[in-house]
Structure 1
Amino acid sequence: MTLSPQLIAATIPDDPDLAKSVQDLVKSSPESAPVITRLLAYFQTKQGAASVPAHDHIIQQQSKQNQGIAQFFNRGGASTTTSTLSATASTSVSPRTSADIGPAIYTTSALSFLHPVRKKLVLSLHSKDIILTTATPAASTPEIICSAPYKSLYRVIAVPFLERTTKQTALLLFFRHSDGLVAAKDAIWVVPLPDDGKDFTLHFHEQHRQLAGLSEDLQSPSSSTKPPIPLSNSKRPDSLLISILSHFLQTSNPTFSSDGTVDIIQNPTPAYPNFLAHLKSNQGTIYLLPTGILFAFRKPILFLRSESIEAVGVHSVLSRTFDFEVVMRQDPTVVTAEDLEGVPAENKDGRRAVGFGMVDTKEFARMEEWIKKAGIRDRSLSEDLKAKDKAPVSATGASSKKRERTADGGGEGVDGNDSEGGGSQVSVSQRNDGTKAKKQRGTVQGGDDDEDDDEDDDFAPESDDEIMEEYDSDAVGSDSDGGEENVPVRRKKVDSDDEGEVLGDEDSDDEDEDEEGDEDEEEDEDEEDEDEDEDEEQNEEGVDLHNEDEVDELLDD
C-alpha cells in the first residue's frame, strides 16, 4: 500500500525531505501505510482549523454570547470610543449604515449632548431605531455616532437642568447593555432642552408618514409649520420627544403600556425634590423621583432604583450639612446589571453601597419623607454609621477637656494638674503670677524693681532662703536687691491665711521656724542687756537722762 502524493503534498508542503522520508518509510514497511495515512489526514484537518485567525475566533465567540445587545449599539469607524470595552463592541459588529436603519421620520436640530459624548449631535427617530448623527450640511451624508432599537430602551427621564441660567429640561435615555460589552456612559444619552423651545427645531419627513404608523386619532392636525406629534399637545421640546418615543415604543411592542417595561418619568410642575450633593469629589444634583434616586450630571450618572435599594442611612449630621449612604440589594432576581452600574464594588462587609456627602441640612426633612414613602429601611441608627459620628477619643479619656498651652510648650489641664502627671514643683504660670505681684508691690512702695521676665526665667537660687523670698507673696525686697533700709526679717514661710502653697518639705519648714524663734528671743535679750548697761553707765556719771539741760551739758563736754 502506498500513500497518496496529493495527501503528502497537502500535509507537508514546505519540507520535501520529510515528505520523501515518509514515502520511503511506507515502502519499506507497507503495514504502516494505514497508520501514516490517518496521521497525515489528522494533521491536515488541524491545519485547516488553525488557518482561521485567532482574533476572528474570539470575535465569533463574543458575538454569540452578546448577540442580544451587540446589535443595539453600533458605531462607525471614526466614532469616538470612551472605553476599551466599547472599542471591542464596535469591532465585533459591522457598522450599521443609514440604508440598514431606514429613512428618518423625525429629526431634530443640532443639540448639545452631554452623554455619550460632549458634542453637538442630531437626534434622529426612525421606525425601528433611534440614532445620533453628526450635524452636517444637508448636501453631505451624516455620520452615525450611536444607534439602538426602541426595544432596548428601558427608562426615559425628564428633570430640570439646573446648571444653566435659562430654564431647561434634561432628557435622559437609558438603554439595556450586557456586562463587559458597553459601559454605562455609552448606554446613557443626555441632552438639555430649552423649555421655551428656542434653538430647537423638530423636522417631520412627510414622505415617510406611513412608516411612522400615525393615524388620525394619534396625531395633531398637520400643517406646513407644525409637524404631527402623537399623544401630546405640549409645546415643550422634552414633552414632544417623549410623546414620539412613547408612540414608537408602542408600535414596536404592543404590550408596552401594560407590562411597564419602560419607566417614563416626565418633568412635572412643581418639580420633584432635588438638591446638590457630592459623590466623592464630583458635585452633581440628586433627584428624588417616584421610582428611584437619580444623580446627575457629572460622570458617572447613577439611577438607583427603589426596588433595588436595601436601605438608606443618614450620618455625619452637622449644623449645615449631612451625608447619607445607599446600600443595594444582593438578590440577583431583583437587582439587574443596570441597577448596579456605577455602584462601587463590594466592600469589606460584603455589600455594595454608594455614599453622597455635603447635602444641605435644609433637605433633611424631604430626604426622610422620601425614604418613608419609598418603603425603604432607614439604617441611620446602625452601629457602623454611628461610629462615623463619634469623635476620636484618646487613650486616657481626657480628649473632651480643653488644654491650655504653657510658655515652655507643655500642656496643663483645666484642673491645674501638670500634664506630665503632677508634682510639687511650681508651674511656670504660678512663677509669672508671683513676678507680676512683686513688681506691683515694688511700684506701690517706691522700690526700684529692675528685674524683668528674662531674669526671672534665669533665676537659680543657691539656698532655700532665697527660694522662699522669691515666691513669698508679701516680700518687699532686701539689701541685696536694692530694697529700703530697716526692713523686717525675711519670712521663711507663706502665712497660713494666704492662698499660696507651702514650698519645700513641711518638716524642714517647722524646724526652720523653731530655730528662727530661738534666734529672735536671743536677739531681744541682747538688746535688753545693752539698754540696761547704758542706763547704768549714765547713772554712774550722775546725769539725769530725762533732764534735757543736763543732757545738753553732757553733750557739750
Structure 2
Amino acid sequence: MGITLDQKSLKIAFEGRPDLQTAIQNAAAGDAYIELFNQISLHVANLTSSSSSEPASKKRRLDDGPSNGTNGHSAPSSAAAASGKDPVLLEIKDISVVIPQRKKYTLCFTASHLYARLPDSSEPAAGISFAWKDIEYAFRLPVPEKTQKQHNYVLFPRGSNITPSKPSSPIPDPIVFTIPDTAPKPGTISGKDAATASSVSDDYKTLFDWAITSQLKAAGNTVKITLADEKLFASEQRQAHRPSEKAVFVKAFRGSKDGYLFFLPNGILWAFKKPLQFIPHGNITAVSYLNVLQRTFNLNVEIGLEGDEVEEFEFAMLDQEDFGGIDGYVKRHGLMDKSMAEQRKAKRLNVNVVKDEEGNVVGNAEGGELEKAAAEAEQVAVDEEDEEEEDYDPGSEGESEGWGVVMMMTAMLKVVVETRKRKMMKMRLRTSYEL
C-alpha cells in the first residue's frame, strides 16, 4: 500500500485555512510529494502545539520583537531591556537615530539604560535599549560630506566591537544617532535632570557629552567618549563643502559597500553603514598595504582570534594621498606592517612606492625581477629612439626647404607614435607583473 496524506496533521497545521488544506490535497494527488507534505504538516503541527502551551506573557514578548539592539537576536543576559516604568532622568526629543533603525526618536536616560521611544509612545522602541554598564566603547565623530556640521554618537554594547565573520553567538547592534552643531530647541529637554542639563545645553554636543558621561560613571562604567584627533590623523583630501575643516576620516570600500575609516586614539572604526566595525589596537596583530597603485591602495587589517587563528578585514580604494598619514598612524601605534611578508607577495602591487617631492608615486623600491626587466626594455627602446633622432637630418639629401619642413613634421609624428607604443608596452608589462 502506498503512502497516504496525513489528514490529521494537515488539519492541525493549517487550521482555519481550508484553502491551503485543499491546495495541498490537490498537489498531493501524485505520490511524489505526499511524504514531503506529511513532514511539513507534522513539523508545523508540533510548532503550533508547543507555542500554545507557553504562557501568554512569554508569547507576547516574542511577538513584541527583539530588544536591546541585537539585530533580531537575544541580548546578553546582563543587559535586560529597559521598561517604560523606569524613572526617566533626562528626555531629549527629535533625535535622528541611524542604527539600528533610521527614524526620529525621543532618547530617554534612566539610571540603568539609554533607550529610544516613539513620540506617541511611553514604551521603549524594540531593539533600541542599552544598559549603561554594558557599553564597551563610545564615540563622537563628525558626519562626513554634510554641508552643515553634524556629529554622530556611536555606542557599542559589549561583545559587538570585534567579532569573526562567522560568529558563534548573536552580535548586538550598536546605536548611532546624529545631532546638529546647534543649541537644543526650547521644549526638547525634559525629565528629572532637565534643570541640571540646562546649564550644559549651549549645544547638543555639550549636552550629550555630559549626559552620557554622567550616566556611564553613575553605573560604574569607566568608558569615556573617544573623539577623532586631527593631530593623530587628518586626511590630505580637501572637503569641498567645508574647506577650512580637516577631514579626520578617509573614504573606503568594504566589499561593495562604501563607508569611512576613522583612525582613532584607541583603534580603527569602519562606519557608518551596517555592519559597523571597531577594531581596537589590542586586537590588531598586523596591517598590510595591498594593491598599491598610482592613485589608490587597499588596507588589510589582521586580528587575532582564539588559538592561532586570525581574521582579515580589507578596506579598498583608499586615496594614495593619504598613504603617508595612514602609514604614520600605523607606525605611531606600533602596529606590525606585514606588507612584505611571504604570504603577501602574490597580492602586493607596487608596494614600497617611491614618491617625488609633490607626493606623486614615481617608482617602486622593490619591484622584483619582472619590473626590472620591464624598466630595462623600456630604456633600450628609449636609447634606440635617441640614436634615430640624432642620426636624422631633415635638411639632408639635397631636399628643398619646404620638403625639409614636411620631413621634420613626419619625424615628430613618428616620435609621438613611438612614444605611445612604448607606453602601451609598459602598461602590458605592468599588467603582466600585477597578474
Match of 2:153 among 171, 183, 193: 171
Residue of structure 2 in register with 1:313 after alignment: 288
CA distance in 2: counterparts of 1:86 and 1:57, whole angstroms: 27
The C-alpha deviation readout for 1:263-288, integer Å capped at 9, x for no partner, is 42035577853111111111111100
What pairs up with 1:429-508 in 2 under 5 angstroms? none
What pairs up with 1:28-107 in 2 under 5 angstroms? 77-79=63-65, 86-87=71-72, 89=74, 97-99=83-85, 102-107=86-91
Residue of structure 2 in register with 1:229 after alignment: 197
Residue of structure 2 in register with 1:156 after alignment: 138
Match of 1:385 among 330, 344, 353: 344
Unaligned runs of 5+ in 2: 1-48, 161-166, 235-248, 351-367, 382-435
Deviation at 1:143, TM superposition (A): 4.9
2:184–2:203 Cα contact (<8 Å) kept: no
Match of 2:328 among 340, 355, 369: 369
2:137–2:225 Cα contact (<8 Å) kept: yes
Distance 1:272 1:161, change over 3 A: farther
Residue of structure 2 in register with 1:295 after alignment: 270
Unaligned runs of 5+ in 1: 1-52, 64-73, 210-225, 333-348, 403-413, 415-557
Q: Which amino acid aligns with 2:344?
A: L
Match of 1:264 among 218, 222, 225: 225
Deviation at 1:315, TM superposition (A): 2.0
Q: What TM-score results when the alignment is normalised by the length of structure 2?
A: 0.56
Distance 1:198 1:242, change over 3 A: closer
Aligned alpha-carbon RMSD (Å): 4.5
Deviation at 1:199, TM superposition (A): 6.0
Distance 1:364 1:321, change over 3 A: same
Deviation at 1:75, TM superposition (A): 7.7
CA distance in 2: counterparts of 1:380 and 1:360, whole angstroms: 18
1:359 aligns with 2:318: yes
Residue of structure 2 in register with 1:250 after alignment: 217
Deviation at 1:241, TM superposition (A): 1.1
The C-alpha deviation readout for 1:87-121, integer Å capped at 9, x for no partner, is 4528x99976412xx12111111222110111222
Determine which structure has the larger strand proportion and give its number: 2
The C-alpha deviation readout for 1:403-432, integer Å capped at 9, x for no partner, is xxxxxxxxxxx9xxxxxxxxxxxxxxxxxx
1:141 aligns with 2:122: yes
Residue of structure 2 in register with 1:460 after alignment: none
Please state whether the residue corresponding to 1:124 is helix, strand or coil: strand
2:83–2:123 Cα contact (<8 Å) kept: no
Please state whether the residue corresponding to 1:298 is helix, strand or coil: coil
CA distance in 2: counterparts of 1:97 and 1:368, whole angstroms: 47
Deviation at 1:389, TM superposition (A): 3.0
CA distance in 2: counterparts of 1:115 and 1:250, whole angstroms: 24
Deviation at 1:192, TM superposition (A): 1.5
2:71–2:100 Cα contact (<8 Å) kept: no
Residue of structure 2 in register with 1:444 after alignment: none
Deviation at 1:183, TM superposition (A): 2.9
CA distance in 2: counterparts of 1:366 and 1:234, whole angstroms: 36
Residue of structure 1 in register with 2:180 after alignment: 194
Please state whether the residue corresponding to 2:74 is helix, strand or coil: helix
Deviation at 1:123, TM superposition (A): 1.0
Q: What TM-score results when the alignment is normalised by the length of structure 1?
A: 0.45
The C-alpha deviation readout for 1:244-269, integer Å capped at 9, x for no partner, is 1211122221xx4xxx4x24203557
The C-alpha deviation readout for 1:304-327, integer Å capped at 9, x for no partner, is 110000001112111111111000
CA distance in 1: counterparts of 2:129 and 2:62, whole angstroms: 10
Distance 1:386 1:58, change over 3 A: farther
CA distance in 2: counterparts of 1:94 and 1:154, whole angstroms: 16
% same residue: 23
Deviation at 1:399, TM superposition (A): 9.3
1:110–1:121 Cα contact (<8 Å) kept: yes
Deviation at 1:86, TM superposition (A): 4.7
Please state whether the residue corresponding to 2:345 is helix, strand or coil: helix
CA distance in 2: counterparts of 1:82 and 1:148, whole angstroms: 6
Residue of structure 2 in register with 1:239 after alignment: 206
CA distance in 2: counterparts of 1:270 and 1:200, whole angstroms: 36
Please state whether the residue corresponding to 1:245 is helix, strand or coil: helix
CA distance in 2: counterparts of 1:195 and 1:285, whole angstroms: 20
Please state whether the residue corresponding to 1:378 is helix, strand or coil: coil
Return the structure number with greater relative CO, CA threshold 8 A, min gap 6: 2
